[in-house]
Chain A
Amino acid sequence: MSNEPTWLHEFEEAVPKAAYGYAINQYSIAYEAWRRGLNVSFENYYSKSKGKHLITYHIYDEENKIKFRYNRSELVSKQAIRTTSSKRKLMTTLSDNGFPIMNSASSNAEKENPGEHYYVYIVGDAAIGAYRKASPYVIGDGEKTVRDLIRESNAIRKKIPSTLNYKISINQQTKDELSKQNYKLPSTPDKGSIIKLRDSEDKAVRQDVIGAMDELSDVLKNSLVEAVNVIPGLVQCEVEVIYDKNTDNYSIVNMKSKPGILNYLFPIHGEASPVPKAIVDYCFPDTKDKYLNDTTFKFFFDYENVHDQLRNNRLSQIVLPKHRYEPNMKAKVIKFNSSIGSKIINKIMKQYFMKFRFDGEVTAHEDDLYKLIIAGNYIDVAFFMDHLNEDERFQHIDDFDYDGGVRIGYTFEQCPGTAELSSGRT
């Protein structure tokens, strides 16, 4: 056991800020499809009830075109949506088909159904992922102090692409909870010991997400798949269940046809579940395991722009360019200083990007420092590097090979704290 969760590598450095929070639902599915070479278009629609424009999207190839809203495809039947949105109807259907359900009307519901709450994502005939919730905790490694373990955990929490702040602040509540366990902030807990940071009985405390697929038996997984299958057309959904690991007994609490996906992708402990993969596999089985970015870079698209243009109704549809896929790609991070001003740098770099079909971005930092991420054909990259080195307008050029995320197209950004596009020093 460690404090480091196992997340899906494809999302590392490939989730733009605009896809944080609820937007991750559509971004993660669209991204999964896009990197298999499928076409993706985003459209907006006006929601009268919400009084704003929302985004829907299509994933398509030459044969199929499937519409999605959040992470739900149109393959989920309307009847299934109606059934799952009425809890009474859902529970009756499940009960009539012999599945154990939690009797929420009973005042002793929790006692009658011992076990823990789990959330299980089902796609087609398989349970794809699961998580449970728990009060925030860290795990000792026999070396670090509680304070360091909390810092380490906060560094991970910061990486979760969420608009919420998952950070654990060290306050009196923390100290009280530690004291209950005979720990102080400078204590060094034994390896593997679990140190609770909040009172688990306190309902006001936000719970952490723990990847829990390995805690479920195959019997339970199969039973849940069967339960989902009694609702015609419910090809993907989340089942909330109370499950007793010791007895394998369970009661279904709810099913959602449009659950949030973030918790499956970014648990704070344990393993992430490949829900987007399973959904796209189900919708486009021929593309299973055929990823274009296995041999290219982790290209990601500018979701911020998609989001901005559609939500503000400046455009009604955006079609993504095809995921770049070709042999002999090379990516570099290049840093240099230049006093000619960011306006001219932007112009020059844009010309290079267009001429050589580079993808990536240029960021202007303080003190005339510029940082480039470029990806292109290795011959073009070498040619570009030579030109840069020969051009006296650029100094202190430093470069290294790069295998992180690359934003497609050309983007120029001023880092916070730097002046707007400037015209250089006189």
Chain B
Amino acid sequence: MQRTLYLDVPTIGITGSFGKTTTKEITAALLSVKHDIFKSKRNYNTVKSTQRHIQQITDEHEVVVMEMTMGDKENGRDQCRLIQPNIGVITSVGHAHFGNFGSIHDIVQSKSEMMKYMDPNGTLYMSYDDEYSQLIDTSYFTGEIIKVGVSKGADYRATDIRFNQSGMEFYVELNGKDEYMFMPILGEHNVANALFGIAIADKLGLTADEIRKGLNAVKVQRGRLTLDQLEGNRQLLDDSGNANPVAMIAGLKVLNDYLDSPRKIALLGDMAELGSYAQEGHEKVGKALNDFNLDKVYLYGESSKWILKKATETGFPEEKLHHFGDKASLTEAIDQIFAPDTALMVKASKSTGFGKVVKSILSKYEGVK
């Protein structure tokens, strides 16, 4: 068995039901302004990935940023058994990967493993906004706890959140002063993710200017709410990398609230790994559709029928809803509907295979913008 790696440099372990990869990327971008960092690759976050990653950490690295899934019971212990974070982040507690759990309390237990197995004298960052994160009993944790969020009372709080065409603007109070921040990624939920990175960077001594510089340099992987301006004033909001009900609704909010387009269409596919929460999770999205003013909603896959049913039941106009059972007819329909002056959001679990749909769209319209 591999022995635990205890480093005397900041070793950041990021877990949570959603937002792990984005938080990792943001945190790494901020800290790399000042430090030589090691960050885990892409969204590789399993115990096996961690095992491979730690082989690549050298004495040169001044900070380590690792995404660690704690999606299954005792995964957290196994992760921290390989490398013990002295800075822990629990981004959120929710129904992502619900298939692996019996109840939300199991998920709470699972995410709590970060707290149990990280350095007892370290710092744990948690969400102040997320409802289920409050269920984590932190009373026996011997380290420091810092809560971030958009709600009043958070230790690090984002205020005055705005969208501009290329990203999000907001303010954060650092050392008693409201500091303007901009990051070139979309979504209020990503502002919440950014707050983890900002709080860690501030605690590790980065200045507001350094934090701003890092935030500006944040790049997210394609398929994680990335925006492409395409030929004919078409906009593609690609969120095809992963999906759960909270993230799907957050993506719809970006399409609805922030994109300036005469025509808005959502293409939503099945959300996998929800287990017993699958029906309820899809129905939640179906109901939420009523909160947005969309021109069309295209649905694909077996589970997305629950979105269709719930949306219809709750009064979403039936003529705006189209369900597809096979990819060929879906691609054909998208070709027809994705006319100039249209914003299209693509969202589903990776296994749904919308990556190919995105590729096809890009090949047609990625020319002159």
Chain A residues close to B by CB (< 8 Å): 36-37, 290, 292, 295, 322-323, 325-328, 377-380, 382-383
Contacts and interface: CB of A to CB of B under 8 A. Distances in A.
A322 B74 CA distance: 15
Q: Which of B1, B80, B120 has the most CB of A within 10 A?
A: B1
B102 to A, nearest CB: 15
A385 to B, nearest CB: 10
Contacts of B84: 327
Interface string B86-129: 00000000000000000000000000000111111000000000
Interface string B128-172: 000000000000111000000000000000000000000000000
B77 interface: yes
A328 B4 CA distance: 11
Interface of B (DSSP majority class): loop
B142 A292 contact: no
Interface residues of B, number: 17
A323 B3 CA distance: 13
Contact of B3 (A290, A377, A379, A382): A290
Contacts of B327: none
B1 A377 contact: no
B140 A295 contact: no
A290 B1 CA distance: 8
A328 B117 contact: yes
Contacts of B296: none
Contact of A37 (B1, B6, B80, B141): B1
B1 A292 contact: yes
Nearest to A61: B1
A290 B141 CA distance: 29
Contacts of B4: 295, 325, 327
Interface string B1-19: 1011010000000000000
B116 A377 contact: yes
Given A377-B117, A378-B120, A326 B141 contact: no
A327 B115 CA distance: 11
A379 B116 contact: yes
B81 interface: yes
Q: Which 9 A-B pairs have the closest CB atoms?
A: A37-B1, A379-B140, A382-B140, A327-B84, A377-B116, A379-B116, A326-B81, A327-B117, A326-B77
A322 B115 CA distance: 23
Given A292-B1, A378-B120, A326 B142 contact: no
Contacts of B116: 328, 377, 379-380
B140 A326 contact: no
Contacts of A380: 116
A347 B222 CA distance: 55
A323 B1 CA distance: 10
Interface string B320-364: 000000000000000000000000000000000000000000000
19 contacts: A37-B1, A290-B1, A292-B3, A322-B1, A323-B1, A325-B1, A325-B4, A326-B117, A327-B6, A327-B117, A328-B116, A328-B117, A377-B116, A377-B117, A378-B120, A378-B140, A378-B142, A379-B141, A382-B140
B85 to A, nearest CB: 10
